[in-house]
Amino acid sequence: MPNNQFKKGELYSFITGKASTAIARRLQKNFKQANVDITIEQWSVLYHLWKQDGMSQQQLCDATFRDKPSITRLVDNLEKLKLVKRVASKNDRRINMIYLTKEAQQLQEQTMEIANQTLNEALQGVTNGQIEIAKEVLQNVYENLK
Amino acid sequence: MPNNQFKKGELYSFITGKASTAIARRLQKNFKQANVDITIEQWSVLYHLWKQDGMSQQQLCDATFRDKPSITRLVDNLEKLKLVKRVASKNDRRINMIYLTKEAQQLQEQTMEIANQTLNEALQGVTNGQIEIAKEVLQNVYENLK
DNA sequence: TTTGAATAGTTGCTTAAACAACTATATGCC
DNA sequence: GGCATATAGTTGTTTAAGCAACTATTCAAA
C-alpha cells in the first residue's frame, strides 16, 4: 500500500471530526431551546433504549461505542434525572438491566423530531447520493478501527 | 425542502460521529505506543502552530473549533509540558501570542508520520473518490452549522 | 475625553471520556 | 467441590468540553 495516500494538509478535518462536533453542539442547542434538559450523551443512551427497552449496561457500551465506566456514569446521571431505572437481572446477578421510565418514554417523539430537524439543518445542500457515500466511508472507517 | 429527507434509523451514525471517535482513539493509542506523551487535543493545537508559529489564543480557537476556555486550558497544559510559551503582545496587551518550544518543534515530524499511518489504517479499502465526497459532505455540514 | 461597547483571555462549575484498578458473580475444567 | 478465568459493573484520577460570569484592554462615538 502506498504510504502517502493523502496530502498531509488534508489530514486535519478527518481526525478532528469538526462536522460531528458541530452537529452535536447544534443538537444540544436545539434541545435547550425546546426546554429539553438532557445532554446529547444522555440522549444517545435513551436513543438505544427507545429502540429496545431493557438493555444491559454492557449492551449499551457496545451500542454507543463507550467504555463501561462511561456508561456507568451516564446511567447514574439518567437515574438521578429519573429517566431510567437499574433492575438487577435474576438470571445473572452481575447484570443490570436498564429500563426507561414513563418520563423518558414521553421524551422520544419530541427529541427525535428535534434530531431530525437538526440533521436537516446540517445537510442542507447535500444530495442523498453524497450522503450515502459519506455514510459508507464513515462506516468503513469505523469497521477498520473498531 | 421536504421535512423527512432521511429515515430516522439512519440518524444515529451522523450525530454521534463514531468514526471520528474511532480515529481519535486509534491516534491516541499510536502516540502512546511510540512513547509520545501528549493528548490528541494537545496535538491538534500543536498541529496549527506547526503550520504557523505565533498565533493568538483567539486564532487557535478559530482554527481548532474550540471555545476560549478550552484553549486557555489546553495552552495551560502545553505550557506545563514545556511545549509552548505564552508571550504578551506588545501592540495589544490583551493578546497572548503562543510560540512553540524547541521540544515541540522536534515532535512535528514523528507525530505527523504517526497521524499519516493512522489515517491509512482508518481508510483501508476506501477509494480516493469516496474520500473526496465524504470530505465535501463533512465540510458542507460544518459550513451549514458554524 | 470620557463613556459604552467590543475583544482577549481567565476562572468556576458540571458533564463526560479514557484508563487503571478494583469488587462481585458466573463459568469451565480438573 | 474448588480453583482459575472470564464477565459485568464500579470507583479514582486526569484531561477536556461547554456555558456563564468575570477582568483587562482597546476602540469608537458623542
For B11, residues 6+ apart whose C-beta sits below 8 A from its C-beta are A112, A115, A116, A119
**3-class secondary-structure state, position B55:** strand
Residue B17 within a domain: yes
**C-beta of residue B32 within 8 angstroms of C-beta of residue B39:** no
Question: Is residue B104 one of the residues assigned to a domain?
Answer: yes
* Alpha-carbon span A43 to B143, nearest angstrom: 25
Contact positions of strand C to protein Cβ (< 7 A): 7-13, 15-21, 24-27
Does the pLDDT of residue B96 top 70, yes or no?
yes
Which nucleotide in the DNA or RNA is closest to residue A69, CA to C1'? D10
Residue B19 and residue A142: Cα distance in Å, rounded? 5
Q: Which of residues 46-105 of B touch strand C (CB under 7 A)?
A: 56-58, 61, 68-69, 71-73, 75, 86, 92, 94-97
Question: What are the cell numbers at B96?
Answer: 497572548
- Residue A95 falls in which region: left (phi positive, over 0), alpha (psi -120 to 50) or beta: beta
Q: Is the CB of A37 under 7 A from strand C?
A: no
**What distance in Å separates the CA atoms of residue B32 and residue B38, rounded to the nearest whole number?**
8
Q: Which nucleotide is nearest to A39 (CA to C1')?
A: C15
**Cell output for A16:** 478532528
Sorting pLDDT into bands at 50, 70 and 90, what band is A10?
low
Reply yes or no on whether the pLDDT at B67 is more than 90: yes
Please give the average per-residue pLDDT across A5-18, as a whole number.
67
Tell me which residue in B16, B122, B125 faces A44 most closely, judged by beta carbons. Answer: B16
pLDDT band per the 50, 70, 90 thresholds, residue A14: confident
**Nucleic acid strand C within 7 Å of A102 CB:** no
Domain that residue A71 falls in:
15-145
- pLDDT confidence of residue B5: 52
**B116 neighbors A136 (Cβ within 8 angstroms):** no
- Chosen for mutation from A14, A27, A42, A126 (greatest number of chain B CBs closer than 10 Å) is A14
Question: Residue B93 is which amino acid?
Answer: R
Is residue A6 a part of any domain in this protein? no
Summarised one tens digit per residue, pLDDT across range A82-136 is 999 999 999 999 999 999 999 999 999 999 999 999 999 999 999 999 999 999 9
| pLDDT for B9 beyond 60 | no
pLDDT score recorded for residue A6: 54
Structural domains in chain A (count): 1
Round to whole Å and give the CA distance between A58 and B70.
31
> Which residue reads 473518490 in cell numbers?
B129
For residue B6, name the pLDDT band (cuts at 50, 70, 90).
Answer: low
Whole-number distance in Å between A57 CA and C25 C1': 15
What sign does the CA torsion over A7, A12, A17, A19 have? negative
Grid coordinates representing A55?
A: 438493555
Which CATH number characterizes residue B67's domain? 1.10.10.10
* A2 part of a folded domain: no
Is residue A87 classed as helix, strand or coil in its secondary structure?
strand
- Domain-located, residue B130: yes
Contact A87, B98 (CB under 8 A): no
Q: What's the rounded Cα separation, in Å, for the pair B21 and B3?
A: 29
Q: Is residue B5 within 8 Å of residue A132, measured between CB atoms?
A: no
CA dihedral A51→A54→A59→A64, nearest 10 degrees, is: 40
Residue A36, pLDDT > 60, answer yes
Instruction: Give every CB contact of residue A26 below 8 A, 6+ residues apart in sequence.
Output: A118, A121, A122, B145
Asked whether residue B1 is domain-assigned, the answer is: no
